[in-house]
Amino acid sequence: MRKRRLGQTGLEVTEVGFGGIPIQHLDAVQTKEILDACLESGMNFIDTARGYTVSESFIGEAIEGQRDQWIIATKSTSRDYEGMKADVAISLSNLRTDYIDLYQFHFVKTMEDLDKILSENGAYKALLEAKAEGKIGHIGITSHSVDVLSEALDRGGFETIQFPYNPVESQGEAIFERAKGLDIGVILMKPIAGGAIRQGEISIKYVLNNPNVTVAIPGMDSVDQVRKNSAVGKEPLALTKEDLDIIREIKDELDGAFCRRCNYCAPCSQGIDIPLQFVVEGYLMRYHLEEWAYGRYSSLAVKSDNCIQCGVCETRCPYDLPIGEMMKRVSKNFKNYEETLKK
């Protein structure tokens, strides 16, 4: 499979990598089958996270004895020194290795988060120490906010960024260009919009046509998906007329209905974390993580059920999403799931 240099890390990663979210609904045997298929297809990059429940440990078990064939990235939502130090140790143990190629700050949502990470006793200090001790190779950051990533690039010290990109989420294109100019690697999460795009291979092909990006990491939960997605990294990338027609169809279908998690709609008059409702709904409806999604949704103090349809958020959404209606849909989907549990 073709490779690209992951910015200043110097790592040569395949254009298509493995996104570790879906492992949460697989078992260890299935994980092994899928990762073996990834290796067979020529893939060399895995991205997982401390927060993806069993993902790190199943991956660790699956790649035991094959460590040198993989470039491993993981991430943690810890923001302070002690928390991050502990998380690096857990990741190393879960992944059954003494070295993680790339460790990222996961889901940095606000400037306050970034300040905390970079403060005197912040998580950055723990990753710098881990790097000096040879436990990790490089430091990266993941976010859904262009503003936060832009500020992170201003402050420096990050060797990679990770951001969503697909035909309906193009809001990161300027930041990718800036990152490329700074020799910072660009990792693409959600290249098939978390499963919302049915024509996954075309969507991956589309994002890889951007010369500023390095690697797309679709979540994959079957050998068949691995084969189809990895083929994109081997075949010519030029988009055909048919591909462009499909991209247009994808945009038409999802543009006015897909939340980009930018959070410009905040604050909700009732205190609902608006994008989070759609994220957990995605886990329920598309990632087959029903139990986890329901648990997460149920634990929220305020959620889509509490929406009073005031419409304030809709005036702030740059994508004109019908948020009130979407809140009704989220509530209905979770109520339907609740009904299935009673049967």
Q: Does 260 bind ligand SF4 (CB under 6 A)?
A: yes
CB count in 10 Å sphere of residue 82: 11
Q: Assign residue 193 a region: left if phi > 0, alpha if psi is -120 to 50, beta otherwise?
A: left
Q: How far is CA 14 from CA 70, 166, 173, 197, 249, in A?
A: 10, 18, 20, 22, 28
Q: What is the secondary structure of 145-184 as a DSSP string? A: -HHHHHHHHHH---SEEEEE-BTTB-TTHHHHHHHHHTTB
Q: Does 303 bind ligand SF4 (CB under 6 A)?
A: no
x-marked contacts with ligand SF4 along 209-248 as a string, rule CB under 6 A: ----------------------------------------
Q: Does 275 bind ligand SF4 (CB under 6 A)?
A: yes
Q: Are 270 and 203 in contact (CB under 8 A)?
A: no
Pairing of strands 3-5, 12-14: antiparallel
Q: Does 324 bind ligand SF4 (CB under 6 A)?
A: yes
Q: Does 330 bind ligand SF4 (CB under 6 A)?
A: no
Q: Does 190 bind ligand SF4 (CB under 6 A)?
A: no
Tokens 């410009």, residue located = 264
Pairing of strands 185-189, 136-142: unpaired
Strand partners, 184: 7
Q: Which is nearer to ligand SF4, 138 or 261 (CB)?
A: 261
State the number of binding residues for ligand SF4 (CB under 6 A): 26
The one segment of 117-125, 229-237, 284-292, 313-321 that binds ligand SF4 by CB under 6 A: 313-321
User: In this structure, is the dihedral angle defined by the CA atoms of residues 87, 61, 49 and 211, taken in order, positive or negative?
Assistant: positive
Please give the DSSP secondary-structure letter assigned to residue 122: B
Q: Does 279 bind ligand SF4 (CB under 6 A)?
A: no
Please give the DSSP secondary-structure letter assigned to residue 211: T
- Report residue 38 CA to chain centroid gap: 18
Q: Does 28 bind ligand SF4 (CB under 6 A)?
A: no
Q: Does 72 bind ligand SF4 (CB under 6 A)?
A: no
Kindly tell me which residue out of 261, 285, 297, 330 binds ligand SF4, with binding defined by CB under 6 A: 261
Q: Does 317 bind ligand SF4 (CB under 6 A)?
A: yes
Q: Does 308 bind ligand SF4 (CB under 6 A)?
A: yes
The one segment of 162-170, 182-190, 284-292, 316-324 that binds ligand SF4 by CB under 6 A: 316-324
Q: What is d(CA 302, CA 269) in angstroms, rounded to the nearest whole number?
A: 11
Q: Does 170 bind ligand SF4 (CB under 6 A)?
A: no
CB of 304 to ligand SF4, least distance (A): 8
Q: Does 302 bind ligand SF4 (CB under 6 A)?
A: no
Residues lying near ligand SF4 in the complex (CB under 6 A) are found at 259-265, 268-270, 272, 274-275, 307-313, 317, 319, 321, 323-324, 327
